[in-house]
Structures are given as structure tokens and as C-alpha cells.
């Protein structure tokens, strides 16, 4: 799927006139052809965001060389990657299989540009599934007195295995503020409600009691402020008075599954940017 002559450049910096012209100038200097280009100037924060896909015969180092002085001038954070490169991903899971099954199936089918380095779970139930997909699986006893050890192991692996993305696939445990901070902007959680409605525990029960006509799911960046992280993707589905809580759970799982997969795809393709507490998505 990757193509060593097809690049994706992402860049963000304080907004000012002329950025697109300057960046596409660097692309032209590398004899590159733009295959996709999106940009956004945030009125709220004064930040500028850009994503460009470029086809070019240049060496990556030459291309980077031509971008470096420009980025410095623009005070820009930037990143260059190959289009379609599978990004190193670590999945945290618990007992629920639906999100993990979907992510692993999509990875194997070539539908998600991720390479799952491993699954870490606080229960052994999902081992056969991970094993079927050839993904290393470890289970851990995560209790109050062992949680710090578990989180240290997560961080150790993130560093040792070049993990670019941590996905909480219905992990169901609250991460410590320290781990949230350490993974800021690199960890995605799926919440089983249409946030900001029904934060906290048992969202489907809450939804049933409130009698809503649509239930949903929200994929968001993990922050220490629980269920308040920047939203990446949301979906809903229609429900009615006939459905009891277990049926809401079943319907909701479909939304969780597709919402998390889409958020992971967007992230893996470098389409998600943080703009203060909001996200910019170049979908």
C-alpha cells in the first residue's frame, strides 16, 4: 500500500498570509505534484493547519531539507510520512470483543493503515482472537495496587516499540492523569454514548431512562478530564421504546465499532489535528 514516492506532509503554525503559497513552493522545488491538499485557519485560536499529499521522485531527505527552513520561518510543527504507511499501534482491551475484532479484521484486510504491535488486556478472554490475527497478546491483572505497574509497562512498550497510536478498544479502565499526559494526542478512546450526553458509567442505561430516540458513540482523544477529550468522530442510530438496555447495548456496539475504526483511520492517515480543545479533521 505504501509508495515511496507519495508523501503526506502535515503542518501547523500561527496563521498568516501566504502559507499555502510558501508550502506549495517547497513542493514545486521538489518537483512534486499535489494529489490532495486541505487547509484550515482557525478563527478561535489563530492557528493554521495544512495537509498535503505530494507525488515526487525526490529523496525524502532532500524534500525534508527544502521544508526545514520554511518550517522554521513559519514557526511550524510539521511531519512528513509516506502515504499509506502502517502506523505502529498498541491496543488496550478488556473483555468486549467487538472493537478489537473489527480493528484486527480491517488491519488484515488492508482497510486500516495500522500495524498492531500488540494487545494488552486486563482479562485473558480476547487472547484467541488476537492470536488468530497473529498479534501478540498479554493479559495483566489491573487492580488498584498493580495499576501503576501496568501503566508503566504500557509506556515502556510505547517507547521501546515505536508506538505511534494507543487505542482504547473498550478498555473500561480509567488511565491515570500521568499516563493521559504522557500519551496526549496519541491515545484514542471510544465512549459508548453520544457525548456530551451520558458521561460516566452505564450510558445505555442512562439513555434508556432518559428515553432518547437516538443512541451513539464518540471516539475522542484521551485526556485526564474523563469523557471530555477532543472529539474525533461520532455516530448515532435510531432506537425506540421497545428496546431494553441489553438491546440498546447491542445496537450501540455497532456504532462503537464503526466510530472507533473511522477515528483510527483518520488518525493513521494524518487527518486529525488538535485545535485547542477541538479537532480539525481533513476527512
Catalytic positions, written as ranges: 227
| 194 lies in the site for its own copies, by CB under 8 A | yes
Which CB, 69 or 128, lies closer to its own copies?
128
Among 5, 6, 39, 82, binds its own copies (CB under 8 A): 39
Close Cβ partners of 113 (under 8 Å, ≥ 6 residues apart):
1, 84, 85, 86, 87, 265, 268, 269
Contact 8, 85 (CB under 8 A): no
Count of residues interacting with its own copies (CB under 8 A): 64
Which CB, 32 or 260, lies closer to its own copies?
32
- Give the range of 65-73, 139-147, 164-172, 238-246 binding its own copies by CB under 8 A: 238-246
Among 2, 4, 31, 62, binds its own copies (CB under 8 A): 31
Close Cβ partners of 273 (under 8 Å, ≥ 6 residues apart):
10, 12, 40, 49, 279, 280, 281, 282
Exposure b/e, 30-51, CB count within 10 A at least 16 = b: bebeeeebebbebeebebbbbb
Q: What's 175's DSSP letter? A: P
* Positions in 46-85 near its own copies (CB under 8 A): none
β-bridge partners, 88 = 115
Among 137, 198, 204, 267, binds its own copies (CB under 8 A): 198
C-beta neighbour count of 241 within 10 angstroms: 8
Residue 41's SS3 state is: strand
| 124 lies in the site for its own copies, by CB under 8 A | no
| 134 lies in the site for its own copies, by CB under 8 A | no
Among 216, 222, 223, 256, binds its own copies (CB under 8 A): 216
| 86 lies in the site for its own copies, by CB under 8 A | no
CA 29 and chain centroid, separation: 32
Q: What's 210's DSSP letter? A: H
- Give the residue ranges of DSSP H helices in 146-197: 147-160, 177-182
Among 166, 230, 264, 271, binds its own copies (CB under 8 A): 230
Under the rule (CB under 8 A), what is the footprint of its own copies?
17-21, 24-25, 27-28, 31-43, 97-98, 101, 105, 109, 111, 128, 132, 194-198, 209-214, 216, 230-236, 240-242, 244, 250, 253-254, 258, 275, 277-281, 283
Amino acid at each position: 500500500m505504501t509508495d515511496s514516492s507519495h508523501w503526506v506532509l502535515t503542518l501547523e503554525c500561527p496563521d498568516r498570509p501566504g502559507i499555502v503559497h510558501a508550502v506549495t513552493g517547497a513542493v514545486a522545488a521538489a518537483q512534486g505534484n499535489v494529489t490532495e491538499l486541505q487547509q484550515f485557519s482557525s478563527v478561535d485560536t489563530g492557528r493554521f493547519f495544512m495537509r498535503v499529499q505530494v507525488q515526487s521522485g525526490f529523496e525524502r531527505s532532500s524534500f525534508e531539507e527544502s521544508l526545514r527552513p520554511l518550517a522554521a520561518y513559519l514557526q511550524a510543527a510539521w511531519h512528513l510520512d509516506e502515504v499509506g504507511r502502517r502506523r505502529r499501534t498498541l491496543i488496550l482491551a478488556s473483555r468486549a470483543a467487538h472493537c478489537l475484532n473489527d480493528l484486527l479484521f480491517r488491519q488484515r484486510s488492508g482497510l486500516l493503515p495500522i500495524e498492531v504491535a500488540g494487545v494488552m488486556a486486563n482479562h485473558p478472554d480476547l487472547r484467541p482472537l488476537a492470536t488468530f490475527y497473529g498479534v501478540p497478546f498479554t493479559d495483566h491483572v489491573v487492580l488498584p495496587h498493580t495499576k501503576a505497574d501496568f501503566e508503566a509497562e504500557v509506556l515502556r512498550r510505547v517507547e521501546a516499540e515505536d508506538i505511534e497510536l494507543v487505542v482504547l478498544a473498550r478498555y473500561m479502565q480509567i488511565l491515570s492523569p500521568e499516563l493521559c499526559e504522557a500519551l496526549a494526542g496519541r491515545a484514542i478512546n471510544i465512549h459508548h454514548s453520544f457525548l456530551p450526553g451520558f458521561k460516566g458509567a452505564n450510558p445505555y442505561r442512562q439513555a434508556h431512562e432518559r428515553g432518547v430516540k437516538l443512541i451513539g458513540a464518540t471516539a475522542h482523544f484521551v485526556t485526564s478530564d474523563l469523557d471530555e477529550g477532543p472529539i474525533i468522530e461520532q455516530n448515532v442510530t435510531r432506537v425506540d421504546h421497545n428496546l431494553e438496555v441489553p438491546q440498546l447495548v447491542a445496537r450501540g456496539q455497532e456504532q462503537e465499532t464503526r466510530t472507533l475504526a473511522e477515528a483510527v483511520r483518520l488518525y493513521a492517515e494524518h487527518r486529525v489535528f488538535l485545535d485547542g480543545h477541538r479537532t480539525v479533521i481533513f476527512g
